[in-house]
Structure 1
């Protein structure tokens, strides 16, 4: 007797296509080998919003139930691929600039390593979609130094398989408090400008705390986050009651500024409100990009992981 199928015809599911999960519908299901009573099933799926020519028979291991948890995983995978794409883009821009300046060696090595590590293996369609979306949502301006930090951060984690040691020396809450103190000098006390500053700083920290696990981590960092999350929820542990902004630092904060534009685009703010919010966020990245600031806040150390961690992270 054939094993029962965990998925049914007409069921809404998430289906892997390449490295990403897409919403899909099961059109049909049948055993792979009808002559084998123990044969597993495979499934004809239609990807939501795709042409019928993309309909495909897929094995069970490419399907996931349409749950909140798996939808969060789908969003995370998209964020990771976009981060990888941005890192490759910044590395390419850095390489071209290096050639123009005459100092090509370091930038060419970086460009080569990023290109080799970040091959998409046939996902041109996905990348084209991301490029279109990125064009529609203007990024928050960043100094070249910050773009370089993003690239180095990506390489350290995805290429060299390192993670930032937690808790960090200078956490997100401290960084944003330092910005608040510095920027207050440019605002009149009690003014609307000062109130907006307070609200934006508070909003950035809140966004970071809520979105870190879903949007700001690379896959290789998730094992570390699971361990930290357990310690946070341990009522007698050293990290009891802490928030991500108390434990993570400027490197992860910087990643949030690459995802914020999309969030802003989907808010209920009017055009003037969006422009004002982008202006406030740009002031933060300008401050972070100042050499005297960057040298003090981007000081957190990357560390090698154990073989056990590496094996668990790759599952």
Structure 2
């Protein structure tokens, strides 16, 4: 076989190898793709969202503009997330530390879970980059008193409203049982609607920000 013929054969062999390799890769990709489910409940779980009222949406949009203009939310907020939660329980005539019915226990438990996730993912998913310095300073001051720092005790409605777009996706990864979502959704939705109805008590755009 001539040198030229040998090169042609080698090229064909190499091309065949590449083709086979691509086929193997494609086969592997198909094997790791999530299996389509005929169950609508699974699809609902991974598409779980909270319905955010227009009033709270506007707070979030206005907040983005204020941050872009070089302003920061005043911290501590006049009403912290914890204080708003206490007000909500009072409106339902639920004593946070007292005896409760089963339904009242679920209400408190589910909203406390939302607040726990607010604290857990606050810095990584809720806080804007421009706010990191303010956050570090506040946390450092709190540590001087040897107290545990919880964002829910310092930040208010503006940051909580932001979190309602974040928390559902986080919970989807943590909760495997769709029944949890069916139980949580109406409880949290009522809390969100109550916040929207009472937002003037907890938020004033002109008084909630300061220049950097």
What is the TM-score with the length of structure 1 in the denominator?
Answer: 0.48
Match of 1:46 in 2: none
Per-residue deviation, 1:266: 1.5
Q: Map residues 1-315 of structure 1 onto 2, 5 A cutoff.
A: 137-157=47-67, 159-184=68-93, 190-235=100-145, 240-290=147-197, 293-299=198-204, 301-305=208-212
Per-residue deviation, 1:284: 1.1
Q: Distance in 2 between matches of 1:278 and 1:140?
A: 7
Q: Distance in 2 between matches of 1:250 and 1:199?
A: 20
The structure with the largest strand share of the pair is 1
Structure 1 stretches of at least 4 aligned residues deviating more than 6 Å after TM superposition: none
* Runs of at least 5 residues in structure 1 that lack an aligned partner in the other structure: 1-50, 52-135, 306-315
The structure with the largest helix share of the pair is 2
Report which of the two structures shows the higher radius of gyration computed on alpha carbons: 2
Q: Distance in 1 between matches of 2:148 and 2:100?
A: 32
Quickly say closer, same or farther: Cα 1:137–1:297, change in 2 above 3 A.
Answer: same
Aligned length: 163
SS in 2 for 1:303: strand
SS in 1 for 2:103: helix
Match of 1:10 in 2: none
Taking only aligned residues, the RMSD between alpha carbons, in angstroms, comes to 2.2
SS in 1 for 2:123: helix
Per-residue deviation, 1:242: 4.4
Per-residue deviation, 1:196: 0.3
Per-residue deviation, 1:269: 4.2
Q: Note if contact 2:66-2:72 (Cα within 8 Å) is conserved in structure 1.
A: yes
Q: Distance in 2 between matches of 1:287 and 1:269?
A: 28
SS in 1 for 2:62: helix
Relative contact order, CA 8 A, sep 6+: which one is greater?
2
Per-residue deviation, 1:137: 2.5
Q: Distance in 2 between matches of 1:301 and 1:256?
A: 18
Q: Note if contact 1:162-1:303 (Cα within 8 Å) is conserved in structure 2.
A: yes
Per-residue deviation, 1:241: 4.0
Q: Note if contact 1:141-1:282 (Cα within 8 Å) is conserved in structure 2.
A: yes
* Runs of at least 5 residues in structure 2 that lack an aligned partner in the other structure: 1-25, 27-45
SS in 1 for 2:164: helix
